Amino acid sequence: MKPNIKVLVVDDEHDVELLFRQRFRREIRKGEIELLFAFSGEEALSVLERQGKTDVVLVLSDINMPGMTGLELLCRIKAEPPPVPVCMMTAYGNDTYQRRAHECDCDGYLTKPIDFPALKDRIRSFADSHV
Amino acid sequence: MRSLPNRPCAHALLPYLLAVCTLTTAPARAQEAPLPNPAIREAPALRFEHLSLEDGMAQGTGNSIMQDREGYLWIATQGGLHRYDGHTFKVYANTPFDTTSLSASWGWSATEAANGDFWVATEGGGLNHMDRATGTFTHYRHAPDDSTSLSSDRAFYALEDRRGDLWVATLTAGLNRMRAGEDGRFTHYRHDGDDPASLSSDVLFGITEDPGGDIWVSSANGLNRIDPETEAITRYLYDPSGNPGYRAPQNVISAWFPPDAPGVAWLATGNGLVRLHTDTGAYERFLLAPDRAPENLIHQVVPDPSAPGILWVAGPGPGLARFDIQAKTFTPYRHDPRDPHSLADNNVQSLLVDRSGTMWVGYANQGISAFNPGAVNFAHLRHDPDDPASLSPGNVWGVYEDQEGTLWVGTANGIRTWLTRFDAATGRVTRYTHDPSDPTTLLPGLYWAFAEDADGHLWTAGNGAGGLNRFDRATGRVTRFRPDGHRIGGVFALIPSRAHPGVLWVGHNRGLDRFDSATGRFTSLPMHPPDGGDDPVVLSLIEDPAGIVWAGTAGKGLARIDPTAGGGKEVVTWAADYDPHDTTSISDPRVQSIVMREKEPGILWLGTFNGGLNRFDTRTGKATHYLKEDGLADNVIYGILVDDAGTLWISTNGGISNFDPDTDTFRNYGLDDGLMALEYNQNAYGKGKDGTLYFGSGNGVTAFSPERLRTNTIPPQVALEDFKLFNESVAVGPDSPLKKPLADTDLITLRHDQNEITFDYVALHFANPAKNTYAYRLEGYDPDWVAAGTHRSATYTNLPPGDYTFRVKAANADGVWNEAGVSVGLVVTPPWWRTWWAYLGYALMLGGLVYGVDRTQRRRLRKKETERAQIREAEIRAEAQQKRREEAERLSEIGRAITSTLSIREIIDTVYENVNALMDAAVFGIGIYNEKRGRIDFPASKEQGETLRPFFYRVDDPDRFAAWCFNHRKEIIINDYETEYRQYVSRDLPPVEGGSPKSVLYLPLIHHDRVVGVITAQSFKQNAYTDYAVSILRTLATYAAIALDNAAAYRKLGNTVEELKTTQAQLVQSEKLASLGQLTAGIAHEIKNPLNFINNFAELNEELADEVVEVLEAGDTEEARAILDDLKVNAAQIAKHGKRADGIVRAMMQHARSSGGERETVDVNPFVEEYLNLAYHGQRARVPGFNADLVTDFAEDVGTAQMMPQEMGRVLINLLGNAFDAVYEYAASQNGQYAPKVTVATRRVGEAVEIRVADNGPGIPEDVKARIFEPFFTTKPTGSGTGLGLSLSHDIVTQGHGGMLAVESVPGEGAAFVVTVPG
């Protein structure tokens, strides 16, 4: 993992922040990864705007959120350059969701409960390919 | 006019002001002049709507204007007689070589005859009689050699009196009288200088019949009264010196006799208006311009249609003038070249007040004009550059009437600003302005906020140098007050506090200040707006009776200031703001004006910048909105005033709206009504002590007393204008369906093939003809009235023969209906082959035919009888026939009894009873063919009266009579069993039941050519059955067959019904399962999230536990402590999400447990919220990508209701699911231009509780709405809905809860389902 890569986690459940911070506590402590959180699709877009898209190597978004759904967020992010990898995470193993996500060029589709070791590998691979 | 920018512009204007203002000298910069009463200073503006050649007139001289009984206007011009219906002119003129056309196009006048025809007096063409029905004219001309002809062809006026005598005034040769019944024979009355009993002049103008029946003829030299019986003439205003000119005082052009004042006549003369007392001959003369004689020539005088004591006069002298009888004063209205809506020309010829309250003037060459005399109730104050005692120049920005009745008006012309004072006590007009060199003059800026304090000082302020002017009315000097540091700019609102004497509340561009008028101290009240930004501009202020101050702001809604709550410190709370997601919020955050009504405490009426009028309830915090579509003149509101009756007067961008909250009605005033402008200005409005309302505009100030403004309550006259067949006008004529003019026709008779008809109709109400509205109905064809809007024609095609009545009614522009309207009967006759005489013919022909056949028959019979010559036989025959007839009757009764039975056993019993009575039937049975099993069933056979057990024979059994009979479709008649049975069967088998008979009958039961079974009668005797018995059984067999067929059909139907019932039950079950599925999906989602958290944090804790061991082994206690802290946090998370899951499960259990049949006390809001969550997540689980804006509007006082939670939950799931589907599908069709929204609201309505599920989808069409609660009715594609959801919900609500389920829908705007259950 390259130092200081940023991952934006989007979920309307606030406890997700605590969970992710603990799951990634070692990486955070070593300064390998920085986690950003947004609790709605709209907030995620403004975080991206503020941070600058190039700093964020990956967006992890829940699908089912009030207001802008994760799928809409995905499509919005993908609609404007530069491309930012986006992985969806959802409790629904729903084919339609998955198809729609891939239509919008989704970079990964994780089902909840999330397999964190696998997620970490994934982030590493995104970070490696991130220029 | 748009409001000024909120930010002060004074610093930009200041150099200008300095330059200009130094020119005026201090301190008396005032220009003064007396003003009797500002409100009548300027004649009210009338707005004239002109009609001339470009509108379809043939010529522009309006010599006279008349309204006929139907309501049409008739205008006599030099180019023909014109009929006007409010939309188009129809012209009657002279046509060369057409002797039935008008004799001369130059007409002076048209009057109506008793029969509805017209008399037209022409210049040079004599008199014309116009047939109304045909539009043709008969001429009455002067013939020099005929002393009984008309005395001159220069006929000016003709009047048919109550006797039917016709009087004709000529311009050169005196008066003519044509007595009733003496057509074409005129008696002449002439002037004779030597005979004082003769006519006063040969130059005559008008003729009037007074209420007593006397004839009054106005002449160039006085007025003549003629007793029609004695023919005695009395002269008035006669000048024996003669030589009268057209402007002579004795030149009487017309007269008007007020019906309510006998003995008085008003005369229009060459020199002013004259009131004549006819008893004494005394008169008074009223001159319009005593020193300008030519201006006193008037042609006509008419009463005001609604104001008593007001007359209108018109003529070439003054143009038009309004005369106040009491005050004896004239208000002239003349042509103003700058105003296109002023009188078109001062050379006015004629004047009319029509029955709809509109007035008309006819010009010498500019056509005609209409005006609304009620517009005089708007008075105006304007700047007059030539009059220093007029209003100061520029735009009016402030109007205020003070306690003394003095009017203060603030104006600005872009360079300078003024305050004009119209002093009530002295009548002086004074203009004040800023002088930079004199600190006792006004501060620079606009003057639009005014207040008076308890000490009687006048305060004014406005946009400009932020501060207050205290004005000393006695000296005209100003004391200026500005806060330290000049921290405020424009002042928008200034009100004295009633609760705190000496305090003024100041709304300004930086918020709100409290000003102490005794100390001159400003105290800023920080408003802390909810968005955390700067204090907003305060545009409007009001103090309610409780001392609470309400502040309307520019962009942040409404604030509430409680001056006492904070222990002497003001407490500001924010009461209302615009929320796009909440339709009960105020409709615009910019509140320009606030008023209260005494009769509605707690209600504020807010005028918003672009969101119309809001009714804001300070107790609930909710607003109701009134916008343009509700009747408001425009959504941009500047000011609101409340009149003494409690109605609101609202200045907008589209005129002034009057809104009555008690009746929820609007009446809008525009230029036609007398306003000087459509746009009145921000802040420029005020109310006077006597109830006068003032509104300021770019043109000046408009003032009016609301109680003097009336809507036009005169319903319109309605006329049928034309009747068309196949789109061709039908002319009146002997061979035409119209024998008389349409107006006089009661019944139109048409042939069956004249069945495409059109009626043109019109409302003859001229206040605003384009806005008259109509409804029509063809009774016998239209089930109800057809609302035609402003359309003036109705067409029907393919009318079947029948009797009809066509009715049409109309409303004036103010919506006042003439409910009676007009009607005409219509008969479409049937074709000849369907008339009564045709039917009579058919009957006769048929009779003849029968008669012929009968005769032949009889002849034959008679021949036979003679041949036999056996009378006895004939007798026997007659007896037998009689018996047969009786039996036939009996049989037919039996048949009825049999065929009316539907049970097989009963059928058998009934047939048996009858068979048994008519013949020996020791054994009797009916066999029914059972197709499925290939056998003939005998369910209830009889032997010796006993019912046998059921048995059957197989149809392929060769040894059974029944099978033979069935298969061969033939009868079996055996009278000697032993010898005859072999014809049918090979073996003699004993019957299955009972003994062996000697005589046997088997007949097939045939119905619709199908053998349905067999019938058998058997006897233990030989030769039991005669031919006659067989024939009887045959008849009964026929009946039995029918009955069995009926029974079979009935049984089949019964099965179908049973099947349907089962299917329905299954469907109900599947609908229940569907809603259960939705519910489960919701629950699953709800529960999955906490479980994920629990799993995750539990796993984490395992890791952390391992880690802590490692760290401790490494001796890093600090790190170990940190990890332990994390462990603790995670444990708390696990517990928290465990509880969350537990709660969901518990709730689920609760619903599962409630048996459904028991009602429980349910807390409504949490209950509804829970199901909203479940339904929403269920929907999202079901429909990927589903999204909608969910709005909840839960009333806090809803409380509990008695409900079966599970059942009611199902209803909510169903209603919400439907709403979600509706908005989702609609969104898909709207290409992103639409935001789907579902609103769930609860509220308490008396004892009941209301739950409302509304969507903003496409709404429900009326036809669907009517059927929506029917079982199996669905709009979804086959297979995607059971069509039972709403029907079940309906049952649950109505039958299960004794409540109501209602549907509301506006197509295109959404639908709402409202559940109401007892609380």
Q: Please tell me which of the candidates A18, A97, A112 has its beta carbon nearest to residue B1184.
A: A97
pLDDT band at B23 (very low <50, low <70, confident <90, very high): very low
Whether the pLDDT of residue A6 is over 60: the answer is: yes
Range B198-213 average pLDDT: 90
Q: Do A19 and B1097 touch (CB under 8 A)?
A: yes
Average of per-residue pLDDT values in chain B: 84
Q: Which residues of B touch A18 (CB under 8 A)?
A: 1129, 1133
* Number of C-beta neighbours around residue B416 at 10 A: 19
Tell me how far apart the alpha carbons of residues B458 and B451 are, in angstroms, rounded to a whole number. Answer: 6
Residue B369 domain flag: yes
Confidence (pLDDT) at A131: 44
pLDDT band at B27 (very low <50, low <70, confident <90, very high): very low
Residue B663 domain flag: no
> Which residue, chain included where needed, has tokens 């039958």?
B1295
Domains, in order of start, for chain A:
5-129 (3.40.50.2300)
Shared domain check, B240 and B355: no
Shared domain check, B747 and B733: yes
Residue B908 domain flag: yes
Confidence (pLDDT) at B781: 86
Residue B116 domain flag: yes
Tell me how far apart the alpha carbons of residues B535 and B640 are, in angstroms, rounded to a whole number. Answer: 24
> How far is the alpha carbon of A93 from chain B, nearest alpha carbon, in Å?
10
Chain A positions touching chain B (beta carbons under 8 Å): 13, 15, 18-19, 22-23, 25, 64, 66-67, 69, 71-72, 91-92, 94, 96-97, 100, 112-114
End residue of a domain, out of B1062, B1095, B1114: B1062
Shared domain check, B892 and B1012: yes
Whether the pLDDT of residue B919 is over 90: the answer is: no
pLDDT band at B30 (very low <50, low <70, confident <90, very high): very low
Q: Do A91 and B1092 touch (CB under 8 A)?
A: yes
Question: Which of B559-573, B921-935, B1270-1284 is the least confident region?
Answer: B1270-1284
**Which of A11, A18, A104, A115 to mutate: most B Cβ within 10 Å?**
A18
Q: Please tell me which of the candidates B1085, B1097, B1185 has its beta carbon nearest to residue A100.
A: B1185
Distances, alpha carbon B983 to alpha carbons A89, B330, B376, B979, B1001, in Å: 91, 127, 117, 9, 13
- The predicted-structure confidence for B1178-1209, as pLDDT tens digits, reads as follows 787 777 677 788 888 999 888 889 888 878 88
**Which of B1093, B1124, B1136, B1182 to mutate: most A Cβ within 10 Å?**
B1093
Residue B141 DSSP class: -
**Which of B1136, B1187, B1191, B1220 to mutate: most A Cβ within 10 Å?**
B1187
Looking at chain B, the whole-number percentage of residues with pLDDT higher than 90 is 34
**Which of A64, A98, A106 to mutate: most B Cβ within 10 Å?**
A64
Whether the pLDDT of residue B44 is over 80: the answer is: no
- Which residue of chain A comes nearest to B1102, CA vs CA? A23
Shared domain check, B368 and B278: no
- The predicted-structure confidence for A63-109, as pLDDT tens digits, reads as follows 877 778 888 888 888 877 777 889 988 876 667 777 788 877 888 88
pLDDT band at B1293 (very low <50, low <70, confident <90, very high): confident
Shared domain check, B103 and B243: no
According to DSSP, the residues that pair with B138 across neighbouring strands are B129
**Which of B1083, B1085, B1096 to mutate: most A Cβ within 10 Å?**
B1096
Dihedral angle over CA of B18, B20, B22, B23, nearest 10: 180
Q: Which residues of B touch A114 (CB under 8 A)?
A: 1092, 1096
Question: Which of B9-18, B661-670, B770-779 is the least confident region?
Answer: B9-18
Of B1226, B1242, B1138, nearest to B1188 by C-alpha is: B1226
Range(s) of the domain holding residue B1199: 1160-1319
Whether the pLDDT of residue B209 is over 70: the answer is: yes
- Beta strand pairing call for B538-543 and B549-553: antiparallel
Confidence (pLDDT) at B777: 92
Tell me how far apart the alpha carbons of residues B238 and B89 are, in angstroms, rounded to a whole number. Answer: 41
A–B CB contacts, 8 A cutoff, strictly below:
53
Q: Please tell me which of the candidates B1126, B1177, B1184 has its beta carbon nearest to residue A22.
A: B1126
Q: Which residues of B touch A13 (CB under 8 A)?
A: 1089, 1093
- State the CATH number of the domain containing residue B1169: 3.30.565.10
Range B362-369 average pLDDT: 92
Pick the more confident residue, B681 or B27. B681
Whether the pLDDT of residue B380 is over 60: the answer is: yes
Confidence (pLDDT) at B24: 30
Q: Which residues of B touch A100 (CB under 8 A)?
A: 1184-1185
Confidence (pLDDT) at B350: 94
Whether the pLDDT of residue B742 is over 90: the answer is: no
Confidence (pLDDT) at B1315: 93
Return the SS3 of B149.
coil
Confidence (pLDDT) at B1275: 65
Q: Residue A46 has which token pair? A: 């403004």
Whether the pLDDT of residue B869 is over 80: the answer is: no
- The predicted-structure confidence for B340-353, as pLDDT tens digits, reads as follows 888 999 999 999 99
Confidence (pLDDT) at B1280: 54
- Beta strand pairing call for B175-178 and B187-189: antiparallel
Q: Please tell me which of the candidates B1126, B1133, B1187 has its beta carbon nearest to residue A69.
A: B1187
Confidence (pLDDT) at B19: 28
Q: Do A22 and B1092 touch (CB under 8 A)?
A: no
- The predicted-structure confidence for B49-81, as pLDDT tens digits, reads as follows 899 888 889 888 999 999 999 899 999 999 999
- Which residue of chain B comes nearest to A18, CA vs CA? B1130
Whether the pLDDT of residue B546 is over 80: the answer is: yes
Q: Please tell me which of the candidates B1100, B1177, B1184 has its beta carbon nearest to residue A94.
A: B1184
> How far is the alpha carbon of A113 from chain B, nearest alpha carbon, in Å?
5
Q: Do B1096 and A23 touch (CB under 8 A)?
A: yes
Q: Which residues of B touch A106 (CB under 8 A)?
A: none
- Which residue of chain B comes nearest to A11, CA vs CA? B1089
Shared domain check, B1293 and B1190: yes
Shared domain check, B1270 and B1207: yes
User: Does the model's ipTM exceed the 0.90 cut?
Assistant: no
- State the CATH number of the domain containing residue B213: 2.20.25
Instruction: Count structural domains, chain B.
Output: 6
Confidence (pLDDT) at B1276: 62
End residue of a domain, out of B170, B189, B208: B189
User: Between the ranges B49-53, B876-880, B1028-1032, B1170-1174, where is the mean pLDDT highest?
Assistant: B49-53
- Which residue of chain B comes nearest to A63, CA vs CA? B1185
Residue B550 domain flag: no
Q: Please tell me which of the candidates A69, A112, A114 has its beta carbon nearest to residue B1185.
A: A69
What is the secondary structure of B297-353 as a DSSP string?
---EEEE-SSSTTEEEEEETTTEEEEEETTTTEEEEE---TT-TTS-S-S-EEEEEE
Q: Which residues of B touch A12 (CB under 8 A)?
A: none
**Which of B1086, B1092, B1118, B1237 to mutate: most A Cβ within 10 Å?**
B1092
Shared domain check, B935 and B1037: yes
Residue B11 domain flag: no
Full strand arrangement of the beta sheet holding B1300-1306: B1189-1194, B1237-1245, B1248-1255, B1310-1318, B1300-1306
Residue B427 domain flag: no
What is the secondary structure of B522-579 as a DSSP string?
EEEE----TTSSPPPPEEEEEE-TTS-EEEEEBSS-EEEEEEEEETTEEEEEEEE---
Alpha helices in B38-144 (DSSP H): none
Range B34-40 average pLDDT: 38
Shared domain check, B944 and B961: yes
Shared domain check, B238 and B329: no
> How far is the alpha carbon of B1301 from chain A, nearest alpha carbon, in Å?
29
Confidence (pLDDT) at B871: 65
- Which residue of chain B comes nearest to A99, CA vs CA? B1184
Whether the pLDDT of residue B958 is over 90: the answer is: no
Shared domain check, B279 and B135: no
Shared domain check, B930 and B910: yes
CA dihedral sign, ordered B1077, B1083, B1086, B1089: negative
Confidence (pLDDT) at B15: 30
Q: Do A23 and B1181 touch (CB under 8 A)?
A: no
Q: Do B1095 and A113 touch (CB under 8 A)?
A: yes
Chain B positions touching chain A (beta carbons under 8 Å): 1085, 1088-1089, 1092-1093, 1095-1097, 1100, 1104, 1126, 1129-1130, 1133, 1136-1137, 1177, 1180-1181, 1184-1185, 1187, 1190
Pick the more confident residue, B1070 or B1086. B1086
Q: Which residues of A touch B1134 (CB under 8 A)?
A: none
- Which residue of chain B comes nearest to A73, CA vs CA? B1185
Whether the pLDDT of residue B446 is over 80: the answer is: yes
- Beta strand pairing call for B603-608 and B521-525: unpaired
Whether the pLDDT of residue B1268 is over 90: the answer is: no
B1167-1173 long-range Cβ contacts below 8 angstroms, 24+ apart: B1167/B1203, B1167/B1205, B1167/B1208, B1167/B1209, B1168/B1194, B1168/B1212, B1168/B1240, B1168/B1242, B1168/B1251, B1169/B1194, B1171/B1209, B1171/B1212, B1171/B1213, B1171/B1216, B1172/B1212, B1172/B1216, B1172/B1240, B1173/B1082, B1173/B1086
Pick the more confident residue, B1061 or B640. B640
Residue B1129 domain flag: no
Q: Which residues of B touch A96 (CB under 8 A)?
A: 1184-1185
Whether the pLDDT of residue B117 is over 60: the answer is: yes
- The predicted-structure confidence for A21-30, as pLDDT tens digits, reads as follows 888 888 888 8
End residue of a domain, out of B377, B397, B415: B377
